[in-house]
Structure formats: structure tokens, C-alpha cells
């Protein structure tokens, strides 16, 4: 409103703020209001015992401190935030566990990609859809729809893809890469059965987990 008044004044029209507020139906106190919110303060009676405990035990988090002092954990967490006493957990060891490689396929059956997404099934509610595609031809090789996103759902999609591509299970002549954004979930508890069904060793079916490529789970959702 003030900028509008200054613009009118620059054009040669001197209009009072009361008149502008009347035209736009706005109260003048709303125009002149300025927030007076004070900065958050920490009570010393609460911060002193917290400070003494974390100095004695630097590894304690806000939940442990709140439990030992008998205080509300949200209050202790707020004190940590305002005082800058939070300790960020740093990763230990080499990350990631699986080497990140660019997912590029130069020919069919060189790299397959699997993914899980949720689809609305009407009366059946939300369903889990597992898909298997060829990263080179972008062809949908197999899919499996179920009410649960268990490993058997992904196994069914992979079996259908193998039958669609090779005619039957157990006839994988050349090795190929099977990448997944779901890490170690897909072959959980059934890895020997998969290897036997496809008649290939573990080295023949290699997995690339969580590699950031165009063939992410978003591609399956689209």
C-alpha cells in the first residue's frame, strides 16, 4: 500500500493513506502493523543441567539427556538447536558399498532394470507393481502385480521377463546386468532359487544397486 501511494505521488496524484485504505477496503492498522516477535530465549534453569550433562557425556543425544534429567525431549531438542549443541553423526567407512557405475547399454540384453511402484487398484486399494525393462531397447520384458511388495513380486516379474526373452527359464546363455534401485531387497531369501532357475552362476547375474541413471523408479512410474 505504501509503494502504491508513492507511485501515485510520483505521477502527480497526492492520495492519503486513509483514502487508499477506504478504496481497497483495508484497515489502516493492517497497513501500519509491524511484527514485534522476539527472538527465542532459553531459560538458564533448563539449559544449565543439560550443558553439564553433555559436557560430562558428549556422546549423549537429546533423547538420552531428556530421559536422565526427567525433562521433555522436545524441550531438550529445542535447547540443543538454539544453543548449537547438536552433534551430527558422520558416516564411518567407505560409502557406498556398491561401486557407482554409469548405466549405459549398447545392445539388447546387456542391461536390464527392475523397479517397484505403487498403483491404485480401485476396490483392491494400493497395489505393488514390479517391472523389468531392457535399458537399450526400452522394451517392457516382464511385470507382476500384487497386493504386497515382497521379494516374490519382483521374482515373478523377473521370471516372466526371462520366459518372454529366452522362451523358458534356465537358458541364459550370456551374462547380463540386472540393476535395481531397491538394493538387496529383490533377491531376499531366494537367491539360490533364482540362480538355479536361470542356470547361471552368481557372476552371470550381476547387480548394480542404487546407481543414479535415467532408468530410475520414476521411469517406471511414468
* pLDDT tens profile 203-212: 334 443 333 3
Within a domain: 97: no
- Cα 136 to Cα 40, 59, 105, 177: the distances in Å are 57, 50, 5, 12
Within a domain: 90: no
Within a domain: 129: yes
Percent of the chain with pLDDT over 90: 9
Lowest pLDDT segment from 39-43, 57-61, 114-118, 172-176: 172-176
pLDDT band at 122 (very low <50, low <70, confident <90, very high): confident
Residues 180, 212: one domain? yes
Residue with cell 484497515: 27
pLDDT score of 217: 44
Q: Name the average pLDDT for the chain.
A: 75
The residues pairing with 157 across neighbouring beta strands, listed in sequence order, are none
Whole-angstrom distance, CA of residue 180 vs CA of residue 188:
13
Within a domain: 105: no
Higher pLDDT, 186 or 120: 120
* Domain with 118 in it: 111-221
Within a domain: 99: no
Residues 132, 215: one domain? yes
pLDDT score of 193: 40
Residues 118, 196: one domain? yes
pLDDT score of 182: 58
For residues 172 and 204, is the Cβ–Cβ distance under 8 A?
Answer: yes
pLDDT score of 26 more than 80: yes
Instruction: Please report which helix (H) or strand (E) contains residue 116, including its range.
Output: strand 111-120
Q: How far is CA 5 from the centre of its chain?
A: 47
Higher pLDDT, 204 or 15: 15
pLDDT score of 72: 92
The SS3 call for residue 130 is strand
Residues 13, 72: one domain? no
pLDDT score of 215 more than 50: no
Within a domain: 103: no
Within a domain: 98: no
Whole-angstrom distance, CA of residue 153 vs CA of residue 218:
19
For residues 85 and 76, is the Cβ–Cβ distance under 8 A?
Answer: no
Give the total number of structural domains in the chain: 3
Within a domain: 6: yes
Q: Looking only at Cα atoms, what is the longest distance across the chain?
A: 88
Amino acid at each position: 500500500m505504501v509503494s502504491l501511494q508513492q507511485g501515485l505521488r510520483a505521477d502527480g496524484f497526492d492520495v492519503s493513506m486513509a483514502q487508499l485504505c477506504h478504496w481497497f477496503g483495508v484497515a489502516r492498522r493492517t497497513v501500519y502493523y509491524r511484527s514485534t516477535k522476539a527472538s527465542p530465549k532459553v531459560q538458564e534453569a533448563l539449559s544449565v543441567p543439560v550443558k553439564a550433562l553433555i559436557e560430562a557425556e558428549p556422546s549423549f543425544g537429546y533423547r538420552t539427556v531428556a530421559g536422565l534429567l526427567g525433562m521433555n525431549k522436545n524441550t531438550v531438542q529445542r535447547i540443543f538447536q538454539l544453543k548449537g549443541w547438536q552433534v551430527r553423526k558422520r558416516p564411518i567407512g567407505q560409502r557406498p558399498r556398491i561401486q557407482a557405475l554409469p548405466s549405459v547399454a549398447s545392445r539388447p540384453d546387456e542391461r536390464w532394470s527392475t523397479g517397484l511402484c505403487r498403483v491404485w487398484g480401485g476396490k483392491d486399494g494400493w497395489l505393488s507393481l514390479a517391472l523389468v525393462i531392457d535399458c537399450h531397447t526400452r522394451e517392457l520384458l516382464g511385470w507382476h502385480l500384487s497386493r504386497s511388495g515382497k521379494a516374490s513380486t519382483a521374482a515373478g516379474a523377473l521370471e516372466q521377463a526371462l520366459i518372454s526373452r529366452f522362451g523358458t527359464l534356465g537358458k541364459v546363455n550370456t551374462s547380463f546386468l540386472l540393476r535395481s534401485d531397491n538394493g538387496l531387497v529383490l533377491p531376499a531369501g531366494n537367491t539360490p532359487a533364482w540362480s538355479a532357475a536361470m542356470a547361471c552362476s552368481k557372476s552371470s547375474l550381476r547387480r548394480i544397486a542404487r546407481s543414479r541413471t535415467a532408468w530410475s523408479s520414476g521411469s517406471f512410474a511414468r
